Amino acid sequence: MQTNFFRQIAKLNLTGDLQITFTQTTENNYVVSVLLKNEQCGDEARKTIPPLNLRGTAEDLDNGFFENISTPLQTASGLMVDMESFMKQLEEAKKKSAMEKEKSDKEKKEKETKEKKFKDALQKAEELEKEAKYKDAWSALPKTSEYPDYAENIRKKQDEYERHFAPSLFTESQPQSTEI
């Protein structure tokens, strides 16, 4: 006797382990319990999918077994595959979110460090200005190439210090000539 039972199971193309329990309830009636388990699915909701129970005589089960289990089992299989895919995507999103947060925190820290360096250099230049060390104050100013956001402020300070140690020949009033 040849059967095609396993070929029919293979045609269902299910993902997971198919557990079939066959129990006799009365002399001619049976209960077949079919449960699909997919341990690859990380979502605990997979455990709430109940087994599919079919009741009938051996002849009833022979005639309608695959027609009755095909759609529900394929639906359950697809659901668990989708749940696993969702869980993986969720985990990936968490990783990316953590990476983005880390990147954002790093950029914020770098910006704060850069601003602190700028303020420290500016403060040092102002201290030197108070001591009338204008050349040193000018040298202590941060470079405009390193701090383009503050370039205008830096240039104003440079011009201010330059007036003290390098007066312009063109802005100073020319000595008046005296006639002899």
Residue 101 lies in a domain: no
Q: What is the pLDDT of residue 127?
A: 87
Nearest by Cα to 140 from 153, 156, 122, 166: 122
Q: Which residues of the chain have pLDDT under 50?
A: 173-178
User: What digits encode the pLDDT tens for the residues 48-93?
Assistant: 889 999 999 999 998 999 999 999 999 888 888 888 888 888 888 8
State whether 123 and 83 are in the same domain: no
17 occurs within a structural domain: yes
Residue 121 forms part of a structural domain: yes
The encoded tokens of residue 79 equal: 């659901």
Pair 19, 84 in one domain? yes
Domain that holds residue 62: 5-92
Does residue 105 form part of some domain? no
Question: Distance between CA atoms of 30 and 177, rounded to whole angstroms?
Answer: 128
73 and 140: one domain? no
